[in-house]
Structure 1
């Protein structure tokens, strides 16, 4: 079956043919066959080229699993967690903290403004925190946060950092060497199907994780520290998804990280140039927009535009989320779709619909 539909959403993204083909290969039993454990170790070694030297774990579950697992594994009852936010997912970390019976202290800023470094530093001076959470790229608004000054402030106060880099890792430079738990997912810049969480864990984070027992199995990171070496996983792993991720990482590394980052920058610039020509405004502004997603202000027309683009042009885009659901139209030049010809096809269609 031929599928000519172009899915320019900020995740899940288009899956290349090489990834789909790899997923069709016969699969070993991941619980008992040694070759699977060897394959898993090789895959985490490849991910180290993207993440750095911290331990890598790949969990069987969509990216939200990583956010919940990080909090469930690090936060014990009455721990204080600074939830730094200027968007939907940053605010959502507080829910996971409360589920773990921790105390969530939210330090938020408006969705169209930067993280409030002055307020963050003030909170850190006022009281001690066991961990802090934040988002690198807020996918619902396309905001790319400057997190390095925040990470520096957290280090000065010996606070463990948890960063959602789900929609930036593999498409944008992420300061992984400064982050204790850095969360990614298969379906964004890696351009593999949804179903896997990838995360790096620092030695400082492991010490905290191993200091107490959680009430969860599926969201507990502790068993993953030595799982590959001991050839035992806490649950049966998603072999075909892992094969797909392996093929996707091969494509990324063959291209080279710097080339991948540049490709995202070029595609983003083209998208925003075309949007300006159409008289559309960026949300929030170009200086803080991510190379992986462009959010356009359309004031109450997002759902109608998305429907028309899909029906008449076979192009799928995303609307906003939360209060901005019908006011923002999002174009994902993410992963495999970060290519000028795909951006041009999308913007040609959008121009036709707007006319």
Structure 2
């Protein structure tokens, strides 16, 4: 026995040993030369992972919600029209944040398990001038994957800022920020980036920075204001000491460690690994007579899976059986249906062995609870799919 359980939720995830070791080193000064080098290198590595050589990176102590808050606070002013494209819980959260800053929001919500069509989005963009639109790349509550590229193209066509919530996608799904002309791509450290919770990470395009500089009113959030943070980012990247608020020193050391691991693997290769494992896992889930929440596999994220409980199984009992087998999964999050499904995270340093452990525990739990299936079926399908695709 390892003495701990396998954490397979959609964040925090299982972290690389080198990342955890970086968290444990003696904390240095935030203006020490060695830390300035780490911070500056982290900013540069972010551009590689985001595929945004022209972007302005921000690393700030906080959560993914803070990154969303920073985008809204700096780019939105009172009475600005903003279009929110929602595929779950976190689309609605972005709507709430935007309204807090006085935006006139219009929310386009997809039916559960679906995405908003491009035709619907374009029709709305034609109806009036929108300053910005938001896209949830992968909604952690539903496991729905949205293709940001054509939406970003529509945003450009209608002179609208595009803001991508990449909390559950950056470093796990295909993102080409500069090529797709996405203005903001934001995330949090504890997902596919592979660092314990505590960092809000954001990349802003040249256009987004220009919109911020030309705003008519002060940013109504002191901590989130880029006026305070931009000089810090520039100083660290130029390897100079600077101060606004004390950075999360050990988390940033861990961030550099993880970004180096990501770049050594190669971002394209890393994304393909996520895709291959997710396809095999979905095939295994289907073989167990289980249904995923997305209406089609084309809409299913590669960083997590949302799976409906069998109708004859008590979800709480299933989760308890999984914990007994030393595997932790997440329950549902979408309020309307939260008791009907569970979620499995498969991002970051996730391996085939991790997902085989999940499937083994899941099979045993289902059998014990009376769900009809052939023992070993899911594991066999998972293995065969991986072998076929590689």
* TM-score above 0.5, yes or no: yes
**CA distance in 1 between partners of 2:81 and 2:277 (Å):** 41
Q: What is the alpha-carbon distance in structure 1 between the residues aligned to residue 233 and residue 207 of structure 2?
A: 20
Partner of residue 307, structure 2: 296
User: Which runs of 5 or more residues in structure 2 are unaligned?
Assistant: 236-240, 368-390
1:152-231 maps to which residues of 2 (within 5 A)? 152-177=153-178, 178-210=181-213, 211=215, 212-230=217-235, 231=241
Deviation at 1:179? 1.0
Alpha-carbon separation, structure 2, partners of 1:301 and 1:16: 34
Which residue does 2:382 correspond to in 1? none
CA distance in 2, matches of 1:308, 1:118: 44
Corresponding residue SS for 2:133: strand
Paired position in structure 1 for 2:322 = 309
Change (3 A) 1:220 1:10: same
* 8 A contact 1:81–1:131 mirrored in 2: yes
Q: TM-score, normalized by length of structure 1?
A: 0.95
Question: Relative to 1, partners in 2 of residues 1:96 and 1:109: Cα closer, same or farther, differing over 3 Å?
Answer: same
My pick for the range that moved more, 220-229 or 161-170, is 220-229
The residue that corresponds to 2:27 in the other structure is 27
1:2 Cα offset (Å): 4.9
Distance 1:207 1:233 in 2: 24
Give, in whole Å, the separation in 1 of the partners of 2:161 and 2:271.
28
| Structure 1 unpaired stretches of 5+ | none
- 169-178 or 191-200: which moved more? 169-178
Question: Larger C-alpha radius of gyration, 1 or 2?
Answer: 2
Question: Superposition pairs for residues 259-274 of structure 1, below 5 Å?
Answer: 259-274=269-284
Deviation at 1:304, TM superposition (A): 2.8
Question: How many equivalent residue pairs?
Answer: 352
| Secondary structure in 2 matching 1:187 | coil
Structure 1 distance, partners of 2:124, 2:16, is: 45
Structure 2 matches for 1:209-288, cutoff 5 A?
A: 209-210=212-213, 211=215, 212-230=217-235, 231-284=241-294, 285-288=296-299
* Mapped contact 1:37–1:228 kept (Cα < 8 A): no
Q: What is the RMSD computed on CA atoms of the aligned residues?
A: 1.6
For the structure 1 residues 34 and 217, does the alpha-carbon distance in structure 2 shift closer, same or farther, using more than 3 Å as the test? farther
- In structure 2, what is the Cα distance between the partners aligned to 1:188 and 1:28? 25
Distance 1:116 1:303 in 2: 35
Partner of 2:13: 13
- Distance change (3 Å), C-alpha of 1:80 and 1:264: same
Q: Residue 38 of structure 2 contacts residue 256 of structure 2 at CA under 8 Å; is this kept in 1?
A: no
Q: Taking structure 2 as the reference length, what is the TM-score of the superposition?
A: 0.87
**CA positional deviation for 1:190:** 1.6
| Structure 1 consecutive aligned stretches of length 4 or more whose deviation exceeds 4 Å | none
Is the aligned partner of 1:333 residue 2:346?
yes
Q: CA deviation at 1:34?
A: 4.1
Specify the SS of the correspondent of 1:183. strand
In structure 2, the residue matched to 1:342 is 354
**Does the 8 Å contact 1:266/1:340 carry over to 2?**
no
Mapped to 1, the partners of 2:83 and 2:158 lie a distance apart of 12
Residue 89 (structure 1) shift: 0.7
2: CA distance between counterparts of 1:186 and 1:142? Answer: 19
| Preserved contact between residue 206 and residue 222 of structure 1 (Cα < 8 Å) | no
